[in-house]
A and B are shown apart, each in its own frame.
Chain A
Amino acid sequence: MKNMKKLSTLAAGVLISVVAITAAHAGSKVPPLAPLGDPPIPADNKMSAAKTKLGKMLFWDPRLGGDASTACVTCHEPDQGWGFADAFSRGYPGTVHWRNSQTVINSAYLMKQFWAGSAASNEKQAPSAAKGAVAGNGENDVMEARLAFIPEYRKLFNEVFGTEWPLISDAWKAIAAFERTLIVKDTPVDKYLAGDKKALSKQQVRGMKLFNGKANCIACHNGALATDQKYYNLGVPTAERWNEDGLAQVTYRYEIYAKGVTQEMYRKLKDDPGFYFRTKEKKDMGKFRTAPLRYLKYTAPYMHNGAFWDLTEVVNFYNAGGGQNDFTDGTMSKNKTPILKPLGLSETEVEDLVAFLEGFSGQELKIKAPKLPDYAPLPNPASN
């Protein structure tokens, strides 16, 4: 906390110089990169040590899911960048997911969670993760009943929320509070932005200049979060896996069916229309939320469908001016963002940019798995 104050004063100084750079090279007014502050804490879900302790246990607890096999941590593994190291995330047993598992690191800052931004906070995100048929496949009454049979949880929920019996809505609050402790903000880039000029190598500083200038990454990846939380179609290529895996084909159709599209769309779609599900407007097909860029080193593969396995591939993709998919090439729509243009970066410049992105990663955040408490019979009620 104390450190933070110092950082923000420092940040104010840096702010000015970055704005200057942005203005000079990108030519548009976007907030510059800035060191990350503390995540916002909602007034109705204050932090406490007991709450985050409980939230951590729940994050690890597979009993918050249908068949008690799939916890949050199952798809958000600390040693896989708090995500899942495959193009598509693993799914609930008997399924595969259809998108890449995002890191939960720094999700606390995001007002638009998920690749297509469909959840407004950690509190709102958690239940849809625990309930979705290819994620947790849990159901409120079942999960709430299970919590009631774990004496240690009864005690902790009572301590934190004052209820006699654990409420599932409070479980999401506790998990959200825990996620607000999964913060990585002291990356070399943050330190550099806060005034520590030695925090980045010369190469990384060159990369940063490209980021803010010639490569124009700053047009979307801007501000302290390195994302404008807006939606673009970059032309990320359609996932190959749908061509070759029946299980993935099942999930694909399930997702477009469950998210609700017209009959005609259901028949024709062969790629993830992303933000379109939320607006049902053709112009939003294939758009995804600008991804925040901290912790990247640990979170490969990249993009909503895990299309790229390393950061060089990502930068090469941008260098080529992005790519094509069903929603850019006219198959379904022509929504490629006009912001992306071939960048003409040399091989060294690509390397510089990658080095800079790695500088956004910081230390790997590892914590010890909690010990999960067991079920026990309920004591007999005082009077019956």
Chain B
Amino acid sequence: MKVISYKKRVTSALFAGLIGTTALTGAVIAGENDHGPVKMIKVNAKKAELGKRLFFDVRLSGDAAISCATCHQPDKAFTDGLALSKAYPGSKGFRNTPTLMNTAVRKNWFHDGRIGTNLNDVTREMITETYIMNMDMRLMQERIKQDPVYVKMFKDAGYGEPSNGSVRKAIPEYLKTLTSRNSPFDKGTMSASAKRGYEIFNGKAQCASCHTGANFTNDKAYNRGVPENPEIWSDPMRHMTYVAFGLFMGIENIMNIRRDVGAHILTHKADGSDIGKFVTPTLRELKYTAPYMHNGMFKSLFEVVAFYNQGGGDDKNKDPNMKPLGLSFGEQQDLVSFLEALSGDVLNTKAHAWKDKIPTNYETIENWRSVKN
């Protein structure tokens, strides 16, 4: 993976990108989809720094085996390169790990959109979810309090004593720093092919009806007819993880279902017509986030585009607007070039990834009996 650095030119490039995009968009869909660069979010540096360390700390999982970064790896734009994610030991994932780039500008989270409040709740879900980090937050709090580095960082960040409440604030503060930057699209340095692809994207292929805004998503759920990933149903460890999820979410007939119902868990339509809807993902940083879709069924962007070109997959609930697009091979290649041009810097330096060693054991509090807990 090539890391391209445009640090010196960031601000001017961003500005240029902005203008270029506005012009282009205006030309194609009359300003409907504001595809500009994602705005940087102002963060409290100390809180974000603390959140970063927490994100890379395995002691935040029940058996201290995995951290957020085990699945959300910075060199892969905070994904893991797997079709179906890893999971807490003893379980196996049944969905693709989404990128965390620009996650702070989303309106809802997870492939099924089941959390629509804020990243504080998302963070809690990740930490406590049995197949993700399976952590009792009370134990997590006491682990963190045992680490003098954290005690100082929490204090310096203005949180006072470490608590699980402030963990759920600090991690989102860090997530807010994961903003896409310096993509050819944003800088206005797209190739001719990518520019042609962008026109197809906004025009003939109508991708922009869902992939809107700076983050290229409208945060809504649709059924694209993405085929089931058979591994979920043939690998008992994945299937049982899905069953446990289903039992918890109250999915009807869970033992007999052989598909990921997606956003149905929110809307629970009796006729099941909402089964198989998933939330539109961002299209940024796709270069680093293969494989694609909620279940990693497509290995390359070309496969995704070919899938759209044939009108999506077979599913009785498939979005009726999804029709074959009639794109030529060249047009498909242009579309792929454009999608690739939405990938920018890999945020894998100290600024965004914790590179120092984090201890896995716990220092002894020396004068244990005389200090307050």
Residues of A within 8 A of B (CB): 63, 65-69, 92-95, 133-134, 137, 139, 141-142, 144-146, 148-149, 165, 242-247, 249-251, 253-254, 256-258, 266-270, 375-378, 380-381, 384
Contacts and interface: CB of A to CB of B under 8 A. Distances in A.
A63 B88 CA distance: 13
B91 interface: yes
8 contacts: A67-B134, A92-B62, A94-B62, A145-B241, A267-B373, A377-B234, A378-B255, A381-B256
A267 B247 contact: no
B64 interface: yes
Interface residues on B, range: 35 or more
Interface string B200-241: 000000000000000000000000000000000111110111
B7 interface: no
Task: State the 10 A-B residue pairs at the shortest beta-carbon distance, nearest first.
Answer: A246-B362, A68-B90, A94-B64, A133-B136, A381-B256, A93-B63, A145-B244, A67-B89, A145-B243, A375-B236
B163 to A, nearest CB: 11
Contact of A68 (B89, B138, B248, B368): B89
A98 to B, nearest CB: 11
A65 B364 CA distance: 28
Interface in B79-102: 88-91
B77 to A, nearest CB: 28
Contact of B146 (A244, A249, A380, A381): A249
B33 interface: no
Contacts of B252: none
Contact of A165 (B91, B145, B255): B255
A92 B258 CA distance: 33
Interface of B: 59, 61-65, 88-91, 130-131, 134, 136, 138-139, 141-143, 145-146, 233-237, 239-241, 243-245, 247-248, 255-258, 361-365, 368-369, 372-373
Nearest to A326: B369
Nearest to A271: B369
Contacts of B63: 66-67, 69, 92-94, 137
Contact of B141 (A92, A165, A257): A257
A216 B178 CA distance: 69
A267 to B, nearest CB: 4
Contact of B368 (A63, A142, A270, A384): A270
A66 B146 contact: no
A130 to B, nearest CB: 13
Contacts of B245: 141
A99 to B, nearest CB: 16
B134 A137 contact: yes
A31 B369 CA distance: 41
A86 B363 CA distance: 21
Contact of B145 (A134, A142, A244, A253): A253
Given A93-B63, A133-B62, A133-B139, A141 B130 contact: yes
A378 B365 contact: no
Given A247-B362, A257-B141, A142 B131 contact: yes
A254 B135 CA distance: 13
Contacts of A376: 236
Nearest to B131: A142
B136 A384 contact: no
A60 B61 CA distance: 24
B256 A246 contact: no
B229 to A, nearest CB: 14
Nearest to B136: A133
B130 A134 contact: no
B239 A378 contact: yes
B130 A250 contact: no
A144 B244 contact: yes
B247 A66 contact: no
A128 to B, nearest CB: 13
Contacts of B64: 93-94
A146 B363 CA distance: 36
A293 to B, nearest CB: 32
Contacts of A142: 90-91, 130-131, 240-241, 244
A377 B233 contact: yes
A246 B134 contact: no
Contacts of B364: 244-246, 249
Contact of B59 (A94, A243, A251, A270): A94
Contact of A66 (B62, B145, B365): B62
A65 B90 CA distance: 9
Contact of B362 (A149, A249, A384): A249
Contacts of A245: 364
A244 B369 CA distance: 11
A149 B242 CA distance: 12
A258 B62 contact: no
Nearest to B241: A145
A137 B130 CA distance: 9
Nearest to A245: B364
A326 B36 CA distance: 65
B65 A66 contact: no
A146 B364 CA distance: 38
B143 to A, nearest CB: 5
B250 to A, nearest CB: 11
